[in-house]
Amino acid sequence: MGRFINPFTDYGFKKIFGQEISKDLLIDFLNDLLKGERVITDLTFLNNEQLPEWEDARALIYDIHCTTDTGEKIIVEMQNKSQAYFRERALFYLSHAVTRQGQRGDWMFDIKAVYGVFFMNFLLKDNVKLRTDIILADRETGQLFSDKMRPIFIALPVFDKEEEKCENDFERWIYVLKNMETLKRMPFKARKAVFEKLEEIADVSSLNEEENELYWRSVNAYRTHLSVLEASRLEGREEGREEGRAEGREEGSIEKCFSIARNLKQLGTSADLISKATGLTPEEIAGL
């Protein structure tokens, strides 16, 4: 058993980022993520009921909804399974957070920005970047059109830096989250006090009996999910092999027909008889 909780589990993710006692961890991470863009001084957690829920999210997607001290909405999400339309799903999700700001009466569309931070335990198609920031901008000039919707995708499998190679606090956060379950000590404490608090929050030995039970249920659900993925991968590989064998048999059968047709043609057999014997068309026989 590792010293620290697994942040890729529902319980672990929300223990680190989704509770009032540890909200300064989320504030610190978001400020490192949005460095040079804005500074968050406080967060208020929202009940998930205030935003739409979808069945596909449970057990695979862990999310936290909050609002900043200046009114921006932020959705932080951990996604453990690839989806065919994950980009579109993210935009759909954020769009709801935008439209729910609408008000009756003489409202002038003064919406607050909505940020989506999507941790992904997989790679999006054609994506080899750790971090992908999406903005609404003019296609020709690149000038920002609106800052009211900001999806940020973090592809965890891309990150492979060692502890000493991390160049900034954002990378240090990603290193800790990706390696937390196997760490024997919490790195970067001397550099930043927030990692010392993270050590206290994430230490498995600090969990009481009830918390420990909830955590291990979450771990078992996550491990079951990994097992299902591995079984699907192996099944897909075997199906691929069988399809390859079938294609090979089919290709061999076709080639055999052409070989027989060539031999019959050399013997002076009529095209009509060759066609009946091999199933090839007259045009295919003429081309031999």
User: At residue 214, does pLDDT exceed 60?
Assistant: yes
Tens-place pLDDT, residues 230-281: 776 676 665 555 555 555 545 556 676 677 777 777 766 777 767 766 777 7
Number of domains in the chain: 1
**148 three-state secondary structure:** coil
Residue 277 lies in a domain: no
| Better-scored residue on pLDDT, 81 or 184 | 184
Structure tokens at 33: 């993520």
Could you tell me the pLDDT band of residue 38, with boundaries at 50, 70 and 90? confident
Largest CA distance in the chain: 91
| Better-scored residue on pLDDT, 269 or 123 | 123
Residue 119 lies in a domain: yes
Amino acid code (one letter) for 169: D
Residue 237 lies in a domain: no
The model's pTM is: 0.75
Structure tokens at 59: 């057990």
Residues 6+ apart with CB under 8 A from 79: 60, 61, 86, 118, 119, 120, 121, 122
Residues 6+ apart with CB under 8 A from 35: 169, 170
Residue 167 lies in a domain: yes
Residue 216 lies in a domain: no
d(CA 205, CA 169): 26
Residue 190 lies in a domain: yes
Mean pLDDT, range 190-214, rounded to an integer: 93
d(CA 30, CA 9): 20
**120 three-state secondary structure:** strand
For residue 187, give Cα distances in angstroms to 25, 197, 201.
Answer: 15, 12, 14
Residue 273 lies in a domain: no
Pairing of strands 136-137, 144-146: antiparallel
Residue 105 lies in a domain: yes
Range of the domain at 50: 10-206
For residue 5, give Cα distances in angstroms to 15, 78, 158, 178, 262.
Answer: 9, 15, 22, 11, 69
